Each structure stands twice: as C-alpha cells, then as structure tokens.
Amino acid sequence: MMTSQKHRDFVAEPMGEKPVRSLAGIGEVLGKKLEDKGFDKAYVVLGQFLVLKKDEDLFREWLKDTCGASAKQSRDCFGCLREWCDAFL
C-alpha cells in the first residue's frame, strides 16, 4: 500500500500532543469538523479507534458520520492509526 508523507511522518514517532490534522486523511475541513466535536488531538481520535476495537468498518463508519470523511480519507486515517498502534502499543 502506498502511504503519504503525512502518514509516514505520523507513524514515525510517538503521538504526544499532535493535532487531529496531523493524521493521514484529515485536512483542514475534516480537522475543523472533528475539533468542533471535541476531537482536537490525534490521541482523542486514537481513543475512539481503540473503543471501536481497531475495527476498520466501525471506525470508518464513525469517521464518515462524525465529520463526513470520504472512503479514501477514512481508509487513510484508519491505516495511519493501525500502523501507529502496531509500532507503539
């Protein structure tokens, strides 16, 4: 699977206090929608990812419902979080 530079940068180091927009697939528009709903940091989205037990279908559906993410955006964000978890959890 081809990954973006944003994806590679995100999974290369601990998450810390990175903003939600640092996640692959999440740009300015989706980032603002997520921030408005309280998901201002990448780790808050990670929390939802973990609550959904890293299930791809459930997470992608949640992202679509929460901020209107497209199939590609939700796939990119899921892949980014999955790879980060594989490296750091």
- The CATH code of the domain that includes 16 is 1.10.150.40
What pLDDT score does 2 carry? 81
What is the number of structural domains in the chain? 1
pLDDT at 38: 98
pLDDT digits (tens, 9 = 90+) for 20-77: 999 999 999 999 999 999 999 999 999 999 999 999 999 999 999 999 999 999 999 9
Question: The domain containing residue 44 runs over which residues?
Answer: 5-88
Name the pTM for this structure. 0.95
Residues ≥6 apart with Cβ < 8 Å to 47: none
The strand pairing partners of 19, in sequence order, are 41
Helix (H/G/I), strand (E/B), else coil: 41: strand
Contact between 25 and 76 under an 8 Å Cβ cutoff? The reply is: yes
Please determine, for residue 3, whether its predicted confidence score (pLDDT) is greater than 80. yes
